[in-house]
Homo-oligomer: A and B are copies of this chain.
Amino acid sequence: MAPRALAKQTNAEMPDVVSDLEILIGYNMKRAYVAIQKDFRAALGEGGLSPRTFSALSLVVAHPNISQSSLARLLGIERSGLVAIIDELERRNYLTRSHVPGDRRVQALVATHEGNAAYQATLATVQAHEERLLATLSATEKHTLMQILIKIRLTDKEDI
């Protein structure tokens, strides 16, 4: 028989148990991610980079001259969805699109000096936000969590 996690009427005996959702990893992962994202946005404030824009900038800084196609693949999103993100980073003067000799289809992305500086500052803010938010976790717990998250992520065959 399939596991039946929770009897129907738990209100009386176990008022703290909200529903079967509590034993589902997907549900708890979503709630945890929502909490992290909320704090991320609060930490970066009005006018700060959104998580996805920060991620894109991080990859451009780490991979100078990366193409938009490669970047979209690394982020796990469609090329079409990346356009608005790169538009925003270009508008902020954080990177430039430049044509490369040899293949005139490609737009090589390079972070500007301003973009590099903004990235380093933002990264420090993001790291501070995570350290503060996850202060109740031990170093071992953080390490274990990261290992598990990467394991789960890589169950997706289309990832990377």
Contacts and interface: CB of A to CB of B under 8 A. Distances in A.
Interface string A135-150: 0110001101110111
Interface string A104-129: 00000000000010001001101110
Contact of A149 (B8, B29, B40, B120): B29
A71 to B, nearest CB: 11
Kindly report how many copies of this chain are found in the complex they form together.
2
Nearest to A52: B30
A151 interface: yes
A53 B156 CA distance: 23
B20 A58 contact: yes
A155 B127 contact: no
Nearest to A77: B34
A61 interface: yes
B156 A38 contact: yes
A130 B59 contact: no
Contacts of A55: 21, 27
A98 interface: no
A154 B158 CA distance: 32
Interface of A: 2-6, 8-11, 17-21, 23-40, 51, 55, 58-59, 61-64, 74, 76, 116, 120, 123-124, 126-128, 130, 133-134, 136-137, 141-142, 144-146, 148-153, 155-156, 159
